[in-house]
Structure 1
Amino acid sequence: MANSRFEYVKGFEKADNLLPETYIVIRIDGKGFHKFTEKHEFAKPNDSRCLELMNKAAEIVVSEFTDIVLAYGDSDEYSFVWCKGTQLYERRESKLVSHVCSLFTSAFVFNWSKFFDIPLRSLPSFDGRAVLYPSFSSLRDYLSWRQADCHINNLYNTTFWALRLQGKMSNREAEERLKGTVSADKHEILFSQFGINYNNEPEMYKKGTIFTRKPADGDDMLSKGTNLSKKQKKKLVIEKLHVDLIADSFWKERPYLETFMNQ
């Protein structure tokens, strides 16, 4: 761009580079999504069409940014974990967050008709934030928190909507019935009153969805301890999972995840 006497205005831009050598998590959430679900008559307590649409949009984001190692989502939110050494956009927070949000939203809209047989009646939107984690253990705790939250919310919602739809209770009556209950109480309500074994509910509902990058079968590129080039990262396989990531076994079975995250 040619220099001009107006170029001084660039000095008003705020420096927003994220701290180096930290794990970046960009988390997006649906804005006003409750009204959006009502307007599009989503099934309760879970609408698999929307969840799979969210997953599709997340997969597109992961495919676009090769420095994303893992993504975790449930309901109307998704968290994208970047490798610690990423230098994309010089780690500028505004660029990273805005690009992820805009790509996710456009992918959600673009793929809507593949999952729903009704037109969009309002425009979906997602807000985003970047959070930095200083250690691998704190990053794991963040992901564990999100999956634990998924389980707690889904168990509550499954029981609440069973009381509402099958038990013919009002919102207030269902809320009063569940006040003060623990997990075991909700399991008992579902099974004794409605014949629902919560353990048999789809894993996507109970555990959310995980996307990871992994080496292709027989490829040990991540075990060599060297940083991968962009070309090598593109060769990694994107894997979709609905499993427990809180347990140590998830990470022990996938040692390449920590290796990639630390690059």
Structure 2
Amino acid sequence: MANSEFEYVRGFEQQDAIPPSNWIVVRIDGRGFSKLCEKYNFEKPNDQRALDLMNAAATEVVRSLVDVVLAYGQSDEYSFVFHESANLFERRAAKLATTVATTFTAEYCLQWRSFFPDEELTRPYPTFDGRCVAYPKRKILKDYLAWRQADCHINNLYNTTFWNLVQRNDMSGYAAEEALKGSLAGDKNEILFSQFGINYNNEPAVWRKGTVIYRAYDDETESGPQPHSKGAINRDSKSQIEKEKKRRQKARIAVEYVDIIGDAFWDARPYILAGKRGQVEEE
């Protein structure tokens, strides 16, 4: 860029690069989605079409950004996990957050007709905001994802009970809130089973657990690419970096509704959070 007398204004830009060796999570949330749900008559407590649309948009974000190793979503939010070694946009928080949020928003609007063929999308269009958070350890990152899945369970159990009371017991919203005030998970499960014959554990897993999207390396039985031996080409060379990028692009994008709070998911897929050189490092 040519120098000019006006270039001094660049000095006002904030340096917002995420420190190296940190896992980066970009979480996007729908803006004003309560009004959107009312406008397009989303089914309560869960509209499967809306969830499928969220998952389709998230899948395309994961596919297009190869540094994203996993995404987790529920309701109108999604969290995208960038590998600790990712260097996209030199790890600048604002660029990462805006890229994910705008890409997701574009996909959500473009794919709308595939899931709501009878509902024309009109202004104000759905939009999503995004934020960046850095997590220095795998354990903290996994605790973050566990927190979001626990939140999904808590909210969905409450909403399932609430809307059954409103829709099937003809309660007002206020009366249903009062009936559930101070109730525990066991109380809500009892209400659902005794009054409506619903076993909450038999509800669709996507409602109870949310959605996990990740790059699956089906042909790899080990943790991932192995570290180079003495005398081998440096993995950080340009050719090795390009090879790794192609490997990620070819990976299958898996979409599952599974538990990520326990260890079973991670133990079966150690490559998701593998270290830069493929090793599964100690927490």
TM-score scaled by length of structure 1:
0.95
Query: AA paired with 2:267?
Result: K
Q: Secondary structure at the match of 1:129?
A: strand
In the alignment, does 2:17 pair up with 1:11?
no
How far apart are 1:123 and its partner, in Å? Answer: 1.0
**Deviations 1:60-79 (Å, cap 9, x if unpaired)?**
10011000000000000000
Percent identity at matched positions? Answer: 52
Q: In 1, distance between residues paired with 2:276 and 2:188? A: 38
How far apart are 1:4 and its partner, in Å? Answer: 2.9
Aligned residues: 263
In the alignment, does 2:172 pair up with 1:157?
no
Structure 2 residue aligned with 1:65: 65
Q: Secondary structure at the match of 2:18?
A: coil
In the alignment, does 2:29 pair up with 1:29?
yes
Range that drifts further, 212-221 or 191-200: 212-221
Structure 1 residue aligned with 2:215: 213
Structure 2 residue aligned with 1:49: 49
Range that drifts further, 208-217 or 69-78: 208-217
Q: In 2, distance between residues paired with 1:4 and 1:219? A: 56
Over 3 Å counting, the alpha-carbon distance change for 1:28 and 1:14 in structure 2 is same
Q: In 2, distance between residues paired with 1:207 and 1:71? A: 13
Q: In 2, distance between residues paired with 1:47 and 1:113? A: 15
Q: In 2, distance between residues paired with 1:62 and 1:36? A: 25
How far apart are 1:237 and its partner, in Å? Answer: 1.6
Name the structure where helix makes up a greater proportion of residues. Answer: 1
In the alignment, does 2:271 pair up with 1:231?
no
How far apart are 1:91 and its partner, in Å? Answer: 0.5
Contact 2:83–2:273 under 8 Å retained in 1: no
Structure 1 residue aligned with 2:141: 139
Structure 2 residue aligned with 1:254: 269
How far apart are 1:18 and its partner, in Å? Answer: 1.0
Query: AA paired with 1:237?
Result: R
Structure 2 residue aligned with 1:172: 174
Which residue among 165, 188, 191 is the counterpart of 1:189?
A: 191
Contact 1:113–1:119 under 8 Å retained in 2: yes
How far apart are 1:257 and its partner, in Å? Answer: 1.3
Q: In 2, distance between residues paired with 1:216 and 1:172? A: 50
Range that drifts further, 211-220 or 56-65: 211-220
Over 3 Å counting, the alpha-carbon distance change for 1:189 and 1:261 in structure 2 is farther
Query: AA paired with 1:252?
Result: D
Over 3 Å counting, the alpha-carbon distance change for 1:125 and 1:170 in structure 2 is same
**Deviations 1:92-146 (Å, cap 9, x if unpaired)?**
1111111111000010000000000211133111111101111100000000000
Contact 1:215–1:221 under 8 Å retained in 2: no
RMSD: 1.7
Q: In 2, distance between residues paired with 1:163 and 1:45? A: 11
Q: In 1, distance between residues paired with 2:101 and 2:252? A: 23
Q: In 2, distance between residues paired with 1:89 and 1:71? A: 19
Over 3 Å counting, the alpha-carbon distance change for 1:221 and 1:245 in structure 2 is closer
Range that drifts further, 12-21 or 226-235: 226-235
Q: In 1, distance between residues paired with 2:188 and 2:275? A: 40
Contact 1:60–1:107 under 8 Å retained in 2: yes
User: Where does the alignment leave 5 or more consecutive residues of structure 1 unmatched?
Assistant: none
Q: In 2, distance between residues paired with 1:168 and 1:32? A: 27
In the alignment, does 2:135 pair up with 1:120?
no
TM-score scaled by length of structure 2:
0.89
How far apart are 1:9 and its partner, in Å? Answer: 2.2
How far apart are 1:2 and its partner, in Å? Answer: 3.2
Query: AA paired with 2:166?
Result: R
How far apart are 1:15 and its partner, in Å? Answer: 1.1
Over 3 Å counting, the alpha-carbon distance change for 1:114 and 1:105 in structure 2 is same
In the alignment, does 2:39 pair up with 1:39?
yes
Range that drifts further, 109-118 or 210-219: 210-219
